[in-house]
């Protein structure tokens, strides 16, 4: 198989990796899959992919740390950053680091291929949806995430900047992200 059909898949959820790899293989792609960044980089070095699907949070690691080494191997690599904990701050960081796109889980194989520019399936679906503004709670969540990133994850400094008690901020951060 050619490099043009090769996709690197990195996620710490082994079931997700296996399921998505099987779905992509059925669609004619060669999938290099891994549940840790070291193995993923070794696979990419041995057999360079044209596309990469990276999870933002890989156990105690960050998928963001893999972007630069992968782009060093192939500057034309299209990287899709996936996450279950989306925030504007991490999206901006991923795109600035060189990711092609950023998306929230769950996505199926066709949606992922669409995000990578390999199919028009997602474009048609997105065009049908009416744009809706984010809720106030979602905007607040994204603002907190942005300030937290500006302070390199320091909760005390973030709480001071936001004018709230540190414990209150900790409790808020332990909850799941607010839906749109």
Domains and CATH numbers, the chain: 3-124 (3.40.50.2300), 136-174 (1.10.10.60)
Mean model confidence pLDDT for the chain: 84
Residue 131 has pLDDT above 60, yes or no: no
Predicted TM-score of the model (pTM): 0.65
| Residue-wise DSSP of 14-81 | HHHHHHHHHHHHHTT-EEEEESSHHHHHHHHHHS--SEEEEESEETTEETHHHHHHHHHH-TT-EEEE
For residue 151, name the pLDDT band (cuts at 50, 70, 90). Answer: confident
- Pick the residue with more confidence: 60 or 158? 158
For residue 60, name the pLDDT band (cuts at 50, 70, 90). Answer: confident
């Amino acid at each position: 198989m050619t490099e043009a059909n090769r996709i690197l898949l990195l996620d710490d959820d082994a079931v997700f990796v296996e399921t998505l790899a099987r779905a992509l293989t059925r669609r004619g792609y060669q999938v290099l899959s891994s549940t840790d960044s070291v193995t993923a980089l070794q696979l990419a070095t041995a057999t360079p992919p044209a596309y990469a699907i990276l999870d933002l949070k890989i156990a105690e690691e960050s998928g963001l740390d893999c972007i630069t080494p992968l782009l060093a191997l192939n500057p034309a690599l299209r990287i899709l950053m996936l996450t279950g904990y989306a925030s504007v701050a991490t999206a901006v960081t991923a795109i600035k680091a060189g990711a092609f796109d950023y998306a929230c889980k769950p996505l199926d194989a066709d949606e992922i291929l669409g995000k990578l520019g390999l199919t028009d399936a997602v474009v048609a679906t997105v065009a049908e949806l009416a744009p809706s503004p984010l809720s106030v709670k979602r905007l607040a969540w994204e603002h907190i995430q942005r300030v937290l990133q500006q302070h390199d994850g320091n909760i005390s400094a973030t709480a001071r900047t936001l004018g709230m008690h540190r414990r209150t901020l900790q409790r808020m951060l332990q909850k799941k992200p607010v839906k749109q």
